Structure 1
Amino acid sequence: MLKPGIFPPLESLQNRLFRAVKADFCKNTECELPRIVISGMGLITPLGLSAWESFRSLLAGRTLPERLGELPTNIAPVDLVQAVGSVCVAQHNEIDPSLELAERAAREAAAGAGVPLEGLPTYIATSKGAVHALAKATKSHDDGVLLSGKRKYPEVYSTAAMGKSGFDYPLAVAMGPQQYLNYHLARRLKIRPVSHTVAACASSLTALHFARNDLQHRSELPDACMILTAEAALTPQFIYSYKRLGVLAKTTVDDYRQTPLNEKRGGFMLSEFGAAIVLRRLKPGEKPKAGEIELTDTGISAAGYDMIRSNPTMPELAHVAKKMFKGRQIDVIHPHATGTPDHDPAELAALTHALKQTDHNQDKIPLYAIKGALGHGLGAAGLVSLVTAGLSLQTGKLPPMPWIDQPLQVDDAPLHITAEQKTIARTGSHAAFAAGFGGHTAGVVITRH
């Protein structure tokens, strides 16, 4: 059963917007805001069960399509997507794969930061949440309707208590898949969920923006917090939904590949991820130490153009990018880059516009599109890119993009796309972006000193 007091009251949108406006005001005045550093990172992917294992796979040029060689040519679409994008350790979690992914990422990030998980304020973000648990909870009802034609809910829906099996899947219906995930994460990790952000593919970076604002403007809060995300939505419903929308790569052994930033693009691969970072607020006037990664800036925006399609000119992305680029040198850009025919050229054009509007005089800024190697993590995608950016700064290496054989060209773009691994500076700034359905957009800049 739910325990009273396990969740604090969620903060009103009005208060969040007030602090966001205050943050922009302070940025343009003489307000002295505390600086924020990233003290721990966690990442679970289909190519690695830790951040460093995943990054080693990326540096080695490994990609998810390598798994296709082990599959029969006549494999069904759902089986193919699940075989390619799944994380092995998450498949047999008794509650939901997303819980396993989130827990592992959280433990890695907290261990790296040297902070206890118990009581740690945590900003959770997903696009989908614990959808496997929701599917299990509703399956008996759906089957009953199909078999009998009766519009009657099974008796299991009358209680939120665990059933005879010991599972509490009905809570996923009563609470929704996002809050259900919060509940189990709080129960297992003893964290203190602050909020659960749902902003399509920009969910995790939007939550990061809220967390940064809270640390900088609410001195009464603890000096450390965690941003935690996980996605495990490889269900038939979502697979066929994305397939019907025309954004999923062709689900055959020969064609199921994601090639962002390449001239030939056919859609994205779906994947499971868990990612987490721990933020630490420095004392007033304190500066990051050499080797520390600072969370330099964040920004969010949205557009009401369409529930699914992006505005062809992506003004919301250009708006966020201008904020990220203004007054600083950007050494590497990690774009959202889904690999769909329409998205990538529009995103590069918007980034180019933002760079020109902010008078950047750099010749060619390298791009890295992680989805070509790991697939699309939906709401987790932004934080996955951010962790990868942090590891690139720590090692001075930008992974290769072996799927690139004809780099996407945008007129007068001060951007550099190559298939080769690049050696980069171990200090400097990286920008990462996420853009989702409904125009949800977020950006972040990190700097290693």
Structure 2
Amino acid sequence: MTAVVSGYGAITALGAADDTWAGVLAGATAARSWEDLADEGFPVTTACRVTSLPPGDPVRRGRDLASAALADALAMAPGALPGVPSDRVGVYVGTTMGESAGYERATTAFAADEHNGAALARHVAGVVGATGPVRAYGTACAAGNYAIGAAAAAVRAGRVDVAIAGGVEPFSRIAMVGFARMRAMTPDLCRPFVAGRRGMQLGEGAAFVVITSAARAGQARAVVGALGLASDAHHPTSPRADGSGMAAAMRSALSRSGVPADDVDWVCAHGTGTPQSDAAEAAALRTEFPAGVPVSSIKGAIGHTMGAASAVETVIAVRALEAGVVPPNVNGPSADPGLGLDVVAAPRPGDVRWVLNCAYAFGGLDSALVLGRAA
């Protein structure tokens, strides 16, 4: 059975899915300095935050982001849920911090299960009325891939008829402090794969896809292939310099999907803009794609949305497959020549058939998800 995307929705610092796609194609960035962060004494005050939603309750920010992205995904696939028994609908949600503001404001009455990833997954299940499997993936910055890959596998295996899958990450002051103290954050703009790159930039957002079998889809927008996973088991925060774990995840995803490396038309890279991570990812790409492959990262546009990142990137990958356009590397048109990559400098029209969406996380968690053009 083939698993396909029949609807998608996203909300990022550039706006909804359409706005984000248009902004990425235009090379726009949502990064700006925030007065509240300066007033609170943060050493880095530049970030990518969503302004298209009302402020709302800070401890429900993730739920609000999820609801906005989910509404668009369901509206695009109106025939996916009607008539499906609730216990045949599954929910799969990735996040790093959950409702981060809940932890930031914790008191002695704090209850983790009101703010963790499971709380976000339960919220999504409540919105769609799902009583099938409800799963939360706390696999940090690879969590979106984990969630979507697991959801597609459940559909292919016939465990569910419809899967709602994606990632959610509200802006986290805890993450801002942590990354700043690690000296991993750029003070100005995130420039993936560029010589002299200075680090990552924090963002927030959410993205969801509706996954069904090809037979159930009113309109199949993309095919979801296999998820490839690997583990570096190398260092708490740094990847192996040779990129071997990343390469293993790519190789597994392609092999399990039956897609030769030469058939991949774009790698949607993790591309955080940190010197070590970009160099390791470049090494992995050179290993798995010795003939070269177009590569770009969207994190220069919307920042690193952590657990939501690869879910947002899945939506961008689906748009690339639909439009037949490889999006550019935002803030990085002049690639570091030492990396040896074909970094896409401007929107590149073409026959985009297969995309590899890569995401990696602290602790050596490596993931790659294959996405294909719908027939």
Give the TM-score range, shorter chain.
Answer: 0.7 to 0.9
What is aligned with 1:381?
Answer: 309
Give the C-alpha shift of residue 351 in structure 1. Answer: 1.4
2:364 aligned with 1:439: yes
5 Å matches for 1:326-337? 326=255, 327-328=259-260, 329-337=263-271
Given residue 437 of structure 1, which amino acid in structure 2 is its aligned partner?
A: F
TM-score (norm 1): 0.74
What is aligned with 2:124?
Answer: 185
Give the C-alpha shift of residue 191 in structure 1. Answer: 3.5
The one-character-per-residue Cα deviations of 1:49-85 (angstroms, maximum 9, x if unpaired) are: x2112111222221123x45x9799766649647643
Given residue 243 of structure 2, which amino acid in structure 1 is its aligned partner?
A: M
What is aligned with 2:297?
Answer: 369
- The answer on whether the counterparts of 1:225 and 1:280 sit within 8 Å (CA) in structure 2 is yes
Identity %: 23
2:239 aligned with 1:239: no
CA RMSD of aligned residues (A): 2.8
2:45 aligned with 1:56: no
Give the C-alpha shift of residue 229 in structure 1. Answer: 1.3
2:154 aligned with 1:214: yes
Deviation larger for 90-99 or 101-110: 90-99
5 Å matches for 1:286-365? 292-326=221-255, 327-328=259-260, 329-356=263-290, 361=291, 364-365=292-293
Change (3 A) 1:226 1:189: closer
What is aligned with 2:11?
Answer: 44
The one-character-per-residue Cα deviations of 1:417-448 (angstroms, maximum 9, x if unpaired) are: 142221122x4111110000001111111111
Change (3 A) 1:87 1:335: same
- The answer on whether the counterparts of 2:250 and 2:368 sit within 8 Å (CA) in structure 1 is yes
Given residue 43 of structure 1, which amino acid in structure 2 is its aligned partner?
A: A
**Within 1, Cα distance between the matches of 2:100 and 2:58?**
13
Aligned pair partner of 2:350 in 424, 427, 440: 424
2:337 aligned with 1:409: yes
**Within 1, Cα distance between the matches of 2:90 and 2:294?**
35
- The answer on whether the counterparts of 1:87 and 1:273 sit within 8 Å (CA) in structure 2 is no
Aligned pair partner of 2:211 in 279, 287, 311: 279
What is aligned with 2:100?
Answer: 131
TM-score (norm 2): 0.87
Given residue 422 of structure 1, which amino acid in structure 2 is its aligned partner?
A: R
Given residue 270 of structure 1, which amino acid in structure 2 is its aligned partner?
A: L
Unpaired runs of 5+ residues, structure 1, are 1-33, 142-152, 158-169, 251-255
Give the C-alpha shift of residue 300 in structure 1. Answer: 1.4
Change (3 A) 1:307 1:94: closer
**Within 2, Cα distance between the matches of 1:324 and 1:421?**
26
- The answer on whether the counterparts of 1:345 and 1:408 sit within 8 Å (CA) in structure 2 is no
2:74 aligned with 1:107: no
Change (3 A) 1:447 1:74: closer
**Within 1, Cα distance between the matches of 2:170 and 2:282?**
28
Change (3 A) 1:289 1:423: farther
What is aligned with 1:27?
Answer: none
The one-character-per-residue Cα deviations of 1:322-349 (angstroms, maximum 9, x if unpaired) are: 2234442000111101100111011011
Which has a greater percent of strand? 2
What is aligned with 1:165?
Answer: none
**Count of aligned residue pairs for this structure pair:** 363
Given residue 96 of structure 1, which amino acid in structure 2 is its aligned partner?
A: R
**Within 1, Cα distance between the matches of 2:114 and 2:25?**
41
SS of the residue corresponding to residue 91 of structure 2 reads: strand
Deviation larger for 85-94 or 291-300: 85-94
**Within 1, Cα distance between the matches of 2:51 and 2:90?**
27
Give the C-alpha shift of residue 176 in structure 1. Answer: 5.1
5 Å matches for 1:135-154? 135-136=104-105, 138=106, 141=107, 153=108
Unpaired runs of 5+ residues, structure 2, are none
Deviation larger for 39-48 or 74-83: 74-83
